[in-house]
Amino acid sequence: MAKNDFEKDLFKLMNKSVFGKTMKNIRKRQDIRLSTDISQGKKLICQSNYNKRTIFSDTDLATIHMDKT
């Protein structure tokens, strides 16, 4: 019942976006935290949802990858 191309494309894109949001796998999401302090990094690593870490060179900067709980 669209009267022009804009309305047709709008409804088509709206349907595709709703479908895409329902098909996302939220179990694969991760919480990534930046740590500049060693003691803060150790606290994050000791948690049960810890996955992996990435240390950036000799600086005190590291990313801690945490699974969603």
Q: Which one has a higher pLDDT value, 50 or 19?
A: 50
Measured distance CA(48)–CA(69) in Å, rounded: 9
Quote the pTM value: 0.58
Q: How many CB atoms lie within 10 A of CB 48?
A: 7
Measured distance CA(51)–CA(33) in Å, rounded: 12
Q: Note the pLDDT of residue 30.
A: 85
Q: Note the pLDDT of residue 34.
A: 92
Which pLDDT band holds residue 50 (cuts at 50, 70, 90)? very high
**Mean of pLDDT values over 18-28:** 81
Measured distance CA(66)–CA(69) in Å, rounded: 9
Q: Note the pLDDT of residue 58.
A: 73
Phi-psi region of 65 (alpha: psi -120 to 50; beta: other; left: phi over 0): beta
